[in-house]
Amino acid sequence: MKQFFKFMFASMIGTFITIMLASIISMVIFFGMIGSLISSASEGKKDKIEKVEANSILHIKLDYPINDRSSNNPFESFDFSSFESNEGPGLDKIIKSLRKAKTDDKIKGIYLDLTTINGGMATLEEIRLALLDFKKSGKWIISYSEIYTQGTYYLASVSDKVYLNPAGIVEHRGLSSELMFFKNALEKLDVEMQIIRHGKFKSAVEPYILEKMSDANREQYELLLNTAWGSMTKDVAASRNISVEKLNELADNMTIQDAKIAKAEGLVDDILFKDELLAKLREKLKIEADEEIKSVSLKKYSKSAHKNPFIPKKEKKSDNQIAVIYASGEINSGKSKNDVMGSETISEAIREARLDENVKAIVLRVNSPGGSAMASDIMWREVVLAKQAKPVIVSMGNVAASGGYYISCAADKIVADEKTITGSIGVFGVIPNAQGLMNNKLGITFDRVKTNKHGDIMSVFKPLTAEERDIIQIGVEKIYDDFITKVAEGRGMTKEEVDAIGQGRVWTGLDALKIGLVDEIGGLERAIEIAKTSAKLDDYNLIDYPKRKDPFEEIMEELTSNIEAKILTKTLGNEYKYYKKVQDISHQSGVMARMPLDIELH
């Protein structure tokens, strides 16, 4: 027995030492990796320069979330199983890379390797325009996929040749949007969402009080989807030489059921296996059948030697700067964090650009569904002050609605993509009443003491009185009046004109142009061109705001604050959006200037 315990304890000690050593080694590797990544991130402009070989193809895959601004966080979307980041370049670097590839003698053409795209409609539009601009060089674009979604086909249609796997399919059915309504679930839980709003189209609150869309909401949805689909079919028709009427007929009849039909109807040029595609690429490169195809990924190409694509090659870099301020995410007070735009962070960025004598113009890139009315007003004030000092041009991304439009309306000019979702000039307040849930479901009761009549007006454990509803409604009406007043001043309209197109109604960029909410259709590049002209600049450099955080700080924030979202996103996949909508119910309170809907393109 003594011998048994001797060996048992020896085994335990050995196991313990092994675990400790393994842990120490793992920690050394982990922190060594962090150090390496931080060092790489800290180098900024001294990032590793990727070498591009002569006679190469630019290989483009867009199977990752495409943000307006590329991240400098080396742990963004980091895959610990492969020790590689899955993060790709943002829209800013995608466009710059395509501009560079257009004149890069080493790049002979582009291979669009498309299956899925995780980006909004306006993002796809800007990439498509950049691809069309690339083709002006006389270089070719070839696309290939096993499955073209409507989003990937929209991009692929610019190609000189669109190829499809023999077992593949082209999705072509038209757009749709599906809303989730919580009214019955909230009733089962005995939770009342007390709504105070201005605007019959301000339908962000409808999921809490209705079981289906209101007539007004259905009307705006139909306009949005039909305008976006019309823009898409117009672009595809021009590229593929197929009439818009024919494209709609194919969608209505769900004609495209397999690869052969897709070819017969002219949506694709040929049906190829992957080896046959590679043979086509070799023909394009004029190399032998057994020669290796030289290619560079978009991610690596974005790290290749870059001159500013907005400055002619022979010109020297200028002291003149155009500041591009990225204002992305739901609007809240405080500092920006993850997918939230903080009024403090953006206000500071606008102020810094305004006070910098080298910054001659500002481009405010807005991609936001709105949020806090107060936070929106704080940023609006900084835009007004900046406009007094230098030209301010707004570039709208996928969404610039409600609070997103609020912070945009004071600019000298507003540029939007055709498929940008904007407007939503309206205000609402949400105060949950969970008294029924606590009393009837959980057996929890409340009692309170107060010094004044309305000291407990914002309690979520009692219903509002009629008088309290009137008090909050007055506040909502004042904020709405302030909103339309500021839009009227910024857009050179009367309050009555703004109110007529306001009421919380959402518009696409195309329709917003017709009613005077935006000045021009175009992307970020067009906004920069207008800023250059407005500031009367011959040459300039671009500088991004808000200034980047320290890489280590960003890594630690990523590791600590976003773990739950990343785990749930990985687990739930595309269904995570429904979980997030449910979560948003508990977070919506107070007076909001937020867009009522989310539209996705599949």
* Helix ranges restricted to H, 318-448: 343-355, 373-389, 403-406, 435-436
First-residue to last-residue Cα distance in the chain: 69
393 in Cβ contact with 424 (< 8 Å): no
Task: Kindly list the distances between the CA atom of residue 565 and the CA atoms of 330, 421, 436, 498, 597, in Å, as whole numbers in the listed order.
Answer: 16, 26, 30, 38, 21
Task: In whole angstroms, give the CA distance from residue 239 to residue 69.
Answer: 29
Q: Is 402 a catalytic residue?
A: yes
Task: In whole angstroms, give the CA distance from residue 67 to residue 95.
Answer: 12
Task: In whole angstroms, give the CA distance from residue 130 to residue 144.
Answer: 19
DSSP labels, 551-572: HHHHHHHHHHHSHHHHHHHHHH
DSSP 108: E
Helical packing angle, 373-389 and 466-491, nearest 10°: 20
Query: Could you give the angle at the alpha carbon of 415 between the alpha carbons of 412 and 420, nearest 5°?
Result: 140
Of 402, 408, 419, 486, which one is the catalytic site residue?
402
Task: In whole angstroms, give the CA distance from residue 416 to residue 510.
Answer: 8
Q: Is 202 a catalytic residue?
A: yes
Residues 6+ apart with CB under 8 A from 215: none
DSSP 434: -
383 in Cβ contact with 392 (< 8 Å): yes
What burial class does residue 290 get, using C-beta atoms within 10 Å of its C-beta: 0-12 exposed, 13-18 middle, 19+ buried?
Answer: exposed
Of 100, 102, 202, 419, which one is the catalytic site residue?
202
Per the structure block, which two tokens stand in for 109?
A: 């053409």
Element (H, E) at 415: strand 413-416
Instruction: Give the strand pairing for 427-433 and 590-594.
Output: antiparallel
Q: Which residues are catalytic?
A: 202, 402
